[in-house]
């Protein structure tokens, strides 16, 4: 019988976005926390099921102004990224069926951000550089 090597047999899906355990934004390898891309009880479960989760340095994850839990532009950018990866594996229709929303259809522009709010959408700007596809509207 096959046994899972991780977590004493508890089944954990692998991230479909990252292969290495490093911060998605900074590539740091310590003080990491795992973030489930889609929130709310049901969607968090589905994020786990489909591997829609990423490693983030603690500050990028929560408690700072620019963290994904506080900054809605960053949060949207990550959801767009999650949708892109999901659709590469399972297609568009299944994404809509599972998550009930088309994040790729929501316009966002993290570049034109007012100077007094530069901390906001900082994570989104990093993601846009790394994954230009999140800036395209379907």
Decide whether 35 or 79 has the Cβ nearer to Zn ion.
Answer: 35
Beta-strand pair 32-36/53-57 = antiparallel
The answer to whether 98 and 46 are in contact (CB under 8 A) is yes
- Using rule CB under 5 A, residue 35 touches Zn ion: yes
State the number of binding residues for Zn ion (CB under 5 A): 1
Decide whether 12 or 111 has the Cβ nearer to Zn ion.
Answer: 12
Helices (H) and strands (E) in the chain, counts: 5, 2
Shortest distance in whole angstroms from residue 3 CB to Zn ion: 29
- Using rule CB under 5 A, residue 79 touches Zn ion: no
Decide whether 13 or 105 has the Cβ nearer to Zn ion.
Answer: 13
Rounded-to-integer distance, Cα 55 and Cα 107, Å: 25
**Chain positions contacting Zn ion, by CB under 5 A:** 35
């Amino acid at each position: 019988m096959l046994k899972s090597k991780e977590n004493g047999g508890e089944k954990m899906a692998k991230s479909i976005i990252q292969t290495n355990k490093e911060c998605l934004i900074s590539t740091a390898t310590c003080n990491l926390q795992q973030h489930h891309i889609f929130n709310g009880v049901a969607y968090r479960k589905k994020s786990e099921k489909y591997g829609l989760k990423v490693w983030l340095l603690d500050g990028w994850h929560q408690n700072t102004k620019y963290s994904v839990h506080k900054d809605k532009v960053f949060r949207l950018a990550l959801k767009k990224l999650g949708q892109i990866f999901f659709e590469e594996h399972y297609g568009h229709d299944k994404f809509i069926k599972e998550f009930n929303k088309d994040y790729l259809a929501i316009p966002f522009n993290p570049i034109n951000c007012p100077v007094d709010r530069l901390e906001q959408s900082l994570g989104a700007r990093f993601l846009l550089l790394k994954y230009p596809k999140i800036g395209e509207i379907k």
